[in-house]
Each structure stands twice: as C-alpha cells, then as structure tokens.
C-alpha cells in the first residue's frame, strides 16, 4: 500500500497538469473570478459568499443555511420549484447552496454542452429567488429534523458543547444550521430580507472549473454581476483562540458512556505555522489513537484533528467509560511529544499520505472548485490550492515540533455523560497528572 501511495504522489503532479490548463483570475465589477481550465467536458461553478457565522446574530443562527437552501428549493421569480427542478433534471445538472462556519457556497455542475441551458437557471436562482411560503415551511421543517437528529448523536452533541464552551461570546459559538429555538422562529420574509442584504459584490468571489472561452466567460460573469449590488467592503475577523488555563465543563446526560472533548489553540490561516501544524496534528492523531485505544483500551474511536478556519483550533476526542484514565493518558502523551518530539520517519510518512490525499481530492471538477473556494475564503489565497503539495514538502521536523509545542498548550475540556466518573482536578491542574494504573 505504501508503495502505491508513493507511486501516486510521483505520478499525480505530472498527470493532472497535463490535463488542466493554467489557472487564472479576472476582476469583474470588483469581484474576483477564479478560473481553472479542466481539460474535460464538465463545468463546475461556485459563488462563494464570505463571512459564515460572522454574518448573523445568535438569535438568527440557521438563517443563512435556510436562505442558501431556499435558492433552489423555493423556486425563482420566473419558475416555481417544480418547474425549476424539472429544467435541471432534463439535463442532469446539479445545483444547490450550503453554509458553513466561514463561508457559504452556491454551486452548479453540468456538461459543457448544456451550459447555455443551465447558466440562466443558476443566475436566476442566485439573484431572484422566490422564498415561497409553503416551500420555505417545508425546508425549515427539514432543517429542524436535521437539528434534532444531530442532537441525538452524542459525538455531534459534545462537539457543539465543546465549541460553545471554548468560544463563548464569539461568533464561533454559533451553529450554521442553527438550533430548534432559532430556526423555528425564522420566516420566509426574514430569510428573504437577510439574503438580500447578504448578496453583494463586496462579499463574494466566483470559482469556475471548466473549459470555457475566456471572452465568453467574462461576458457571462459581467451580466451576472451587473445584477448584484456593489455593497460595502467586507472586513472579516480572524480570531485566535488560546485557553487562559486548563478548564473542565461537565454536563450530565443519560448515556451509555462518557464523551470527552478538548479544544486547544491553532495557527491562523496564511501564517507560516499553518502547514506544519496540519501535518503535526495528523501525526498526533496516530499517536493518540495508538496510545488511547491500542495500548490502553480506553476508547473505541479516539481522534484528534485541526479545524483550520478563521478561528483555528485543535481538538482531542474520546468516548470512554474511564474519563480520568483518558485525560491522564492523553496529557502524558502530549508531554512526551513536547519533550521528545516527532521523528523524521513520521514526518516522511505523513507527507507521503497527505500528498496522496491532495491528488485524490483533485479527481473531479467539484473537488477542485471546493479547494479553490476554501483557500480563497479562509486563506485569502486561492493559489494555495495549487501549491499545497510543494508547500508541504518544505515543512521540516524542526517546524513540526515547534508548532506542536507552541499551540497544543492549555485545553478547554468538556464531558457529556456522568460527571461523577470524572475528577475535575485531573483536567484542570496545570501539571500533567501522574499515571497510577
């Protein structure tokens, strides 16, 4: 398997550029339009609306997700929902919107020969959505059902608790999907007014992955952007999270086991530490899994990850019947890495695996567009999607150990389950607790 991954990493950089043309950007009506010629007959277009959870209040959480869903689920001024959907189905085109922590996207995907049929539908959905009352009530109910489903999943629920606790009083404590309390109060009129304010040229970028004549594309984009108001300049907040001390917040819940999650710091997108920390947390995932599950049998599926958005943070997670033993083992593992560091073999292997994943993610136009959109919205640099493989090769072992020690420090811990099973002092004390088992 390892040989296969190495072979893919060697071949992919030569295969993909041969199929794709050189990426470029245009500035049309003050909007950045990012274009990646694809070398195939598929066209993927994404309008990126920046801001995410910064765009709305705690009381209206979920409104952006509803509004983005409504673009295709409530019809347009020209077509009702069924007529609109039938027009897409006639050419097997895909279209839809979604919203996340840092940005929303509205995408379309079709065969190049059908672009002239699908593009007008996309423009109408983006610029003249209907927000029809009956259809809006349906998608609001669907969103409420999804919220209830997520609330019933302990893994999801403890993740939300961890973020609400760590990021209390900031936008990152909000849920893009909203809560039952907020979503149940949202109306079609409120979502329509919100979307009208949301969509302006100061907030968006557009990503195109496909082989479209540049002059034709520029004409299409200008016609679209002429229909979108200029709006004020956008000033996104990039915030850094660092817990002032180790903290512990338990919540009693009738569960078969305990769900423990900790949040620590992470480097800002675009900073020199970012790429090294991505790799460090991937190695830490393996170390954490082996130590928690394989060596000590404390959790079936322990995990660590790095959430590298506009407020970046690192995460430790485990479901366990023995939370005290888990936190002792996890904290001792962190101390060991801080003392001894990672190894050259670990760095070499994680680079190989990461580069293979990078090239796997470039297999479709949709995946390429998603990478360009994410890098533009979060890093402010869409070209990072194209240079990431070479950028990661430059990360040194010294970089890896330095950033891990710099960012994985104090941890905001939460527990859902039986608080009586956990000793708060083991989570909160500054010095790493001694292993006694």
What does the alpha-carbon distance between residue 284 and residue 403 come to, in Å, rounded to a whole number? 12
What does the alpha-carbon distance between residue 95 and residue 67 come to, in Å, rounded to a whole number? 14
What are 40's two structure tokens? 């195939």
What does the alpha-carbon distance between residue 194 and residue 49 come to, in Å, rounded to a whole number? 13
Give all strands of the β-sheet with 258-264 in edge-to-edge order: 247-252, 412-417, 258-264, 313-320, 303-307
Predicted local confidence at residue 434, as pLDDT: 87
Distance of CA 76 to CAs 89, 149, 306, Å? 16, 30, 39
Q: Looking only at Cα atoms, what is the longest distance across the chain?
A: 70
Residue 7: strand, helix, or coil: helix
Predicted local confidence at residue 2, as pLDDT: 38
For strands 94-99 and 103-111, give the pairing: antiparallel
pLDDT digits (tens, 9 = 90+) for 119-166: 999 999 999 999 999 999 999 999 999 999 999 999 999 999 999 999
> Topology of 24-227 in CATH?
Cytochrome Bc1 Complex; Chain A, domain 1 (3.30.830)
* Average confidence score pLDDT of the chain: 94
Average pLDDT over residues 309-328: 98
Look at 11-20, 25-34, 380-389 and tell me which has the smallest mean pLDDT.
11-20
Look at 11-25, 164-178, 251-265, 307-321 and tell me which has the smallest mean pLDDT.
11-25
- pLDDT over 90, % of the chain: 90
C-beta of residue 368 within 8 angstroms of C-beta of residue 382: no
Average pLDDT over residues 250-274: 97
pLDDT digits (tens, 9 = 90+) for 163-199: 999 999 999 999 999 999 999 999 999 999 999 999 9
From the candidate CATH numbers 3.30.565.10, 3.30.390.30, 2.40.50.140, 3.30.830.10, the one assigned to the domain spanning 247-428: 3.30.830.10
Predicted local confidence at residue 4, as pLDDT: 38
- What's the pLDDT band for 277 if we cut at 50, 70, 90? very high
- What's the pLDDT band for 10 if we cut at 50, 70, 90? very low
Q: Which residues contact 6 (CB under 8 A, 6 or more apart)?
A: 352
Predicted local confidence at residue 339, as pLDDT: 97
Predicted local confidence at residue 19, as pLDDT: 61
What does the alpha-carbon distance between residue 101 and residue 163 come to, in Å, rounded to a whole number? 12
Predicted local confidence at residue 358, as pLDDT: 84
**Fold match, 24-227 / 247-428:** yes
Q: Taking the model in full, what pTM does it have? A: 0.93
- What's the pLDDT band for 18 if we cut at 50, 70, 90? very low
Predicted local confidence at residue 233, as pLDDT: 85
What are 338's two structure tokens? 């801080």
What does the alpha-carbon distance between residue 363 and residue 402 come to, in Å, rounded to a whole number? 34
pLDDT tops 90 at residue 1: no
pLDDT digits (tens, 9 = 90+) for 57-84: 999 999 999 999 999 999 999 999 999 9
Of the candidates 15, 10, 21, 20, which has an alpha carbon nearest to the alpha carbon of residue 355? 10
What does the alpha-carbon distance between residue 151 and residue 158 come to, in Å, rounded to a whole number? 9
Domain boundaries, the chain: 24-227, 247-428
pLDDT tops 50 at residue 9: no
């Amino acid at each position: 398997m390892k040989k296969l991954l190495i072979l893919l990493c060697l071949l992919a950089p030569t295969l993909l550029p041969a199929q794709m043309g050189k990426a470029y950007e245009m500035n049309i009506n003050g909007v950045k339009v990012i274009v990646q010629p694809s070398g195939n007959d598929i066209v993927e277009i994404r309008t990126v609306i920046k801001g995410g959870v910064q765009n709305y209040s705690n009381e209206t959480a979920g409104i952006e997700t509803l509004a983005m869903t409504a673009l295709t689920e409530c019809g347009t001024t020209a077509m009702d929902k069924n007529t609109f959907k039938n027009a897409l189905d006639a050419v097997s085109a895909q279209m839809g919107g979604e919203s996340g922590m840092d940005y929303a996207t509205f995408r379309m995907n079709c065969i190049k020969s059908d672009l002239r049929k699908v593009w007008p539908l996309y423009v109408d959905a983006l610029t003249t959505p209907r927000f029809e009352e009956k259809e809006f009530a349906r998608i609001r109910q669907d969103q409420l059902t999804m919220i209830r489903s997520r609330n019933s999943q302990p893994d999801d629920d403890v993740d939300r608790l961890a973020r609400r606790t760590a990021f209390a009083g900031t936008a990152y404590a909000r849920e893009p999907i909203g809560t039952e309390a907020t979503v149940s109060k949202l109306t079609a009129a409120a979502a329509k007014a919100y979307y009208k304010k949301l969509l302006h040229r100061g907030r968006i970028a557009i990503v195109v992955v496909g082989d479209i004549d540049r002059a034709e594309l520029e004409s299409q984009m200008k016609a679209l952007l002429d229909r979108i108001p200029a709006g004020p300049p956008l000033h996104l907040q990039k915030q850094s999270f660092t817990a002032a001390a180790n903290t512990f917040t338990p919540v009693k819940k009738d569960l078969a086991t305990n769900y423990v999650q900790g949040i620590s710091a992470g480097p800002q997108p675009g900073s020199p530490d970012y790429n090294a920390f991505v790799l460090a947390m991937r190695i830490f995932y393996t170390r954490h899994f082996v130590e928690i599950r394989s060596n000590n049998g404390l959790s079936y599926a322990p995990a660590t990850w790095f959430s590298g958005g506009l407020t970046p943070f690192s995460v430790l997670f485990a479901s366990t019947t023995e939370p005290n033993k888990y936190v002792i083992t996890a904290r001792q593992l962190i101390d060991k890495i801080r003392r001894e560091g990672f190894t050259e073999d670990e760095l070499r292997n994680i680079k190989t695996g990461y580069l293979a994943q990078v090239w796997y993610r470039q297999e479709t136009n949709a995946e390429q567009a998603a990478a360009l959109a994410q890098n533009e919205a979060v890093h402010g640099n869409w070209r990072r999607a194209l240079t990431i493989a070479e950028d990661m090769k430059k990360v040194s072992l010294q970089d890896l150990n330095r950033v891990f020690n710099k960012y994985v420090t104090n941890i905001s811990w939460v527990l859902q389950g039986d608080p009586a099973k956990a000793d708060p002092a083991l989570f909160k004390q500054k010095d790493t607790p001694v292993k006694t088992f």
